[in-house]
Chain A
Amino acid sequence: MAKKKNSVDNSQWMVIWHSLKSNKVAFICLILVVLLFLLSVSVDMIFDYEEDIIKQTISERLQPPSMKHWFGTDAYGRDYFSRIAYASRITMFIALASTFFAAVFGILIGAAAAFFNAKLDNIVQRLLDIVIAVPTILLAICVMAVLGGGVINMIVAFTISQIPKFSRIIRSSVLVIKENEYIEAAEAIGASKMRTLITHLIPNTLGTTLVQITMNVSYIILSTAALGYLGLGVSAPEPEWGLMLSEAREFMRSEPYLIMIPGVVIVVTALAFNLLGDGLRDAMDPKLKGYRKSKGKEKLPILPISENISKDEVLRINNLYVKYSTPEGDVMAINGVNLSLNKGERLGIVGETGAGKTTLALSILRLLPKGVGIPYKGDIYFKGKSIHAMDEKNMRTVRGNLISMIFQDPMTSLNPVLTVGDQIAEVLRQHGKQKQDAEKRVDELLQLVGIEASRKICYPHQLSGGMRQRIVIAIALACEPDLLIADEPTTALDVTIQSQVLAMIDEIQKKLQTALIMITHDFGIVAENCDKVAIMYAGEIIEYGEIEQIFNKENPHHPYTVGLFNSIPDLYSDQKRLIPIPGLMPDLSDLPKGCVYADRCPYRIERCEQRKPSVRQYSDGRQIKCHLFLEDEKIEGRARC
């Protein structure tokens, strides 16, 4: 058991290491830090302290940088380069030692405070508040002024002032981890609290601590120099960067290099530690890195609409392909989708998570993450106009006005710092309503979605999940769009609220004759609220038809549809247990050559793995994308339920 845990840890560190290695800046800084460390421990071997560092040669005083003296000489004729290099020893020693002690004490205090009991925690926090109230450098100045300069005193002063930083970080990490189940599990199997603390908590907070350590070293390097400059640090003739700067001050006019060089050395050293810390943080938390935009704008192919469009057609999607371009490679999210939707029609798109439903919805509004989600083939036509060809200004008049979207998660879809009334009014104002008209309309809309108009001054956090979703719906309906896309509008709600919200969408849709796309993974919702269904799998529509056709078991169906129906409970069947579909959806970054469902399909035949099936078009409008139903491919034993 212990071994297994170790191997997990190792691989985690390996991931961090690889990520760090691929980050050029951080890697250079790591090398720089290591070199600096090696220099600082070996200065006594490189330089003779008495001869190279201390000995004054008045005849050579204030020589500018040359081949003999790379950094020139100081006011006492001492080689500046040797002194600066030698000074790394004392700075590194103070920075590393005080960071080490501060980290050790900080971790112990923070972990203990968070782990044992709230009373102790409270007392410790108040004590740390006191230390924090005194600016670090002032505390250090006081200690140095009383105890006198010297390395040990500086370490003591910095250690005390830095303990709160570490203990706070550790404390909050511990409080989070403490709630995790594995800690409870460890306690349940009888491990003592102390043992649990050491074996589980400390390794888990090591990452954050490591980042803080590098940042802290950099901070102490700066502070050491600052104290040295004030004359409170080490005393002459020992070389120290801050002290050297204060000696150089009087030669500011004639020998600027005396000020420039040590300063640059300090900056570079501190920078190396800071950038290393940054790199470590990125390596451990890659979510902020974002994706690099692909170079150059990819021209979208715009296909002319060949057939004559009927007046009622609101949306047409022609052979659409969308990929997400990520550093790990392209993810093929939509692979050749064709759809058409008429005025007042209600289309359900069903599929499991990751089938590309939301991507499809966002493509229609052209809201895919910029530079990452790229539609690279096919086109989308809204009322006969190509969405891809539209310029941004026209697109904005479409969004929220002609096409609007109800988003999935009402908890995160509303801005927490604006009132809900403002958020509804915003879309109205955007599309040309005057302020007073907008206000009136907000009241109407709130009534429409069943919320008292007086609640418009509420912030999202003051409303329940169901009410927030009604607000999201009110925003989507505000401008009476021609096309409404509802992306799992009820997933985040509990069942009773679900039916209310759906009934409301249905009512409004009927009233306004809006075309509706309902994205869901719930067949029940589709059955009640849609006229047509498209079943999506791995970015393709594998079956399409009218609701009665799809739900009619006598009709032939795609094996995936059959699998889906078998995995939902049916009150009227004799079936004893549900049959889940074995396996997982294929990896979208590495799609199979043949049919996307072949891997999981119980009716798989040879050609399924060799090439993609085309679409079988039935006379009643149904479409199935499966080799089993292609007329020119006569096969025995079709799937039937």
Chain B
Amino acid sequence: MWKYIIKRLFMLIPVVIGVTFLVFFIMNIKPGDPGRMVLGLDASQEVVDAYNTKLGLDQPYLVRYAQFLSSLLHGDFGNSWYGGDPVIDNIKQMFPVTLKIAVLAIIFATVVGVPIGMLSAVKQYSLVDRIASIFAMVIASTPSFWLCLLLLMIFSVHLGWLPSYGLTTWKHYIMPVFVLGANTLGICIRMTRTSMLEEVRQDYVRTARAKGMKEDRVIIKHALFNSLIPVITAVGTNFSLLLGATVYVESIFALPGLGNYLIKAVNAKDIPIVMGCIVVLAIATVLINLLIDLLHSAIDPRIKAQYVGPMKIKTKKEEKTNG
């Protein structure tokens, strides 16, 4: 198992190189003129050029990219073009905030979504099923930034129940986490329902019923775990979208997270910040995918066998029989 995880971690390297190259390329199509922006219109051209040279902007594209990569290896993301502060320090401070609300949102979406989807499937075509399906579809079709505005309008502006910005008390978390998890919640309900419907028609579920087990035990023990596999995949795929959505949610609720930091940098064309943020988010996406695969193998021994290989299982078995 560990061998597999390490192998997967090594596969991060080409992805990071690819992602940084792609983003670096895009950001350098029109690099802007940071010297002029920082020093103002009154500064002389020489001073501006000197500033730009100091940032390394006179170097050719590939050289700059190589420099970026080598400093990345040392854990250095460079300094902000405008503020001059090291990007890595800011990321260290802000990423935990983003990660915290993103993980809370995922937990919220699955903890609420899976039972609803399950109920919906078990009671197919009932009123509960209809309401849940419509709710899931609507919430999956709602743009998260609008949902932010809507909730803000209702609960902060008109009712005054929830604070509209910042992250100090638990109340501050309610709206950002709900909004961020909303799309995933919709997807979770739909996926659980679909895969559960497939699962309850399986032969082994019938075998379980033939054992005389209670219907709810049958569903939970035999159908639920198997039906979770596609749900986990969907949630994992959605995590990348969710990280993207932190950009609006954090900027609308003024949260001190990576998304907010990133969008400000994009608008200012502060390339080192943009690069740093995107590298971190891309690594997070890849790691989440790895985590999803590990979860799969924890649930399904067939998938585990693919990673571990037959040898390992044999020794394990021997251990157990000996002991």
A interface residues (Cβ-Cβ under 8 A, vs B): 126-127, 129-139, 141-143, 145-147, 218, 222, 225-226, 229-232, 242, 245, 249, 252-253, 256, 259-260, 262-263, 266-267, 270-271, 274-275, 278, 288, 290, 292-293, 365, 367, 369, 395-401, 404-405, 407, 409, 412-418, 423, 426-427, 430-431, 454, 457-459, 461-462, 472, 475
CB-based contact B263/A230 at 8 Å: yes
A242 to B148, CA, bound (A): 13
CB-based contact A133/B146 at 8 Å: no
Most A C-beta atoms less than 10 A away, residue of B201, B204, B209, B225: B204
CB-based contact B278/A288 at 8 Å: no
Would you call B214 an interface residue if the criterion is a C-beta within 8 Å of the partner chain's C-beta atoms?
Answer: yes
CB-based contact A431/B274 at 8 Å: no
Most B C-beta atoms less than 10 A away, residue of A138, A145, A245: A138
State whether A461 and B26 are in contact (beta carbons under 8 Å apart), knowing that A132-B240, A288-B198 are contacts in the complex.
no
CB-based contact B226/A415 at 8 Å: yes
Would you call B106 an interface residue if the criterion is a C-beta within 8 Å of the partner chain's C-beta atoms?
Answer: no
A441 to B26, CA, bound (A): 67
Chain A nearest CB from B175 CB (Å) reads 14
A401 to B278, CA, bound (A): 60
CB-based contact B278/A142 at 8 Å: yes
CB-based contact A146/B26 at 8 Å: yes
Would you call B23 an interface residue if the criterion is a C-beta within 8 Å of the partner chain's C-beta atoms?
Answer: yes
Main secondary structure of the interface of B (DSSP, over half): helix
Residue in B212, B244, B266 whose CB lies within 8 Å of A398? B212
CB-based contact A142/B274 at 8 Å: yes
Q: Which residues of A contact B220 (CB under 8 A)?
A: none
CB-based contact B146/A263 at 8 Å: yes
Q: Which residues of B contact A133 (CB under 8 A)?
A: 15, 18-19, 240, 282, 285-286
Q: Which residues of B contact A245 (CB under 8 A)?
A: 145-146, 149
Would you call B54 an interface residue if the criterion is a C-beta within 8 Å of the partner chain's C-beta atoms?
Answer: no
CB-based contact A134/B281 at 8 Å: yes
CB-based contact A405/B300 at 8 Å: no
CB-based contact A130/B18 at 8 Å: yes
State whether A457 and B320 are in contact (beta carbons under 8 Å apart), knowing that A145-B266, A145-B269 are contacts in the complex.
yes
CB-based contact B210/A367 at 8 Å: yes
Q: Which residues of B contact A136 (CB under 8 A)?
A: 240-241, 244
Would you call B27 an interface residue if the criterion is a C-beta within 8 Å of the partner chain's C-beta atoms?
Answer: yes
CB-based contact A142/B285 at 8 Å: no
Chain A nearest CB from B323 CB (Å) reads 11
Residue in B14, B26, B204, B241 whose CB lies within 8 Å of A415? B204
Jot down 25 A-B pairs with beta carbons below 8 A, ordered by A. A126-B14, A130-B14, A134-B282, A136-B244, A138-B247, A141-B263, A146-B30, A222-B141, A230-B263, A252-B153, A259-B149, A266-B143, A267-B141, A267-B143, A290-B197, A367-B209, A367-B210, A369-B201, A400-B211, A401-B212, A404-B211, A413-B204, A415-B222, A417-B301, A418-B221
Scan B201-217; emit 1 where CB is below 8 A from any A CB, else 0.
Answer: 11110111111111000
A139 to B247, CA, bound (A): 12
Chain B nearest CB from A71 CB (Å) reads 16
CB-based contact B302/A461 at 8 Å: yes
B174-226 residues with Cβ-Cβ distance < 8 A to A are: 194, 197-198, 201-204, 206-214, 221-222, 225-226
Residue in B153, B201, B247 whose CB lies within 8 Å of A137? B247
Q: Which residues of A contact B214 (CB under 8 A)?
A: 396
Chain A nearest CB from B241 CB (Å) reads 6
Give the residue name and chain of the A residue nearest to B274 (CB).
A142
Would you call B235 an interface residue if the criterion is a C-beta within 8 Å of the partner chain's C-beta atoms?
Answer: no
Q: Which residues of B contact A412 (CB under 8 A)?
A: 202-204
CB-based contact A256/B141 at 8 Å: no
Would you call B150 an interface residue if the criterion is a C-beta within 8 Å of the partner chain's C-beta atoms?
Answer: yes
Give the residue name and chain of the B residue nearest to A455 (CB).
B317
Give the residue name and chain of the B residue nearest to A263 (CB).
B146
Residue in A141, A267, A288, A293 whose CB lies within 8 Å of B266? A141
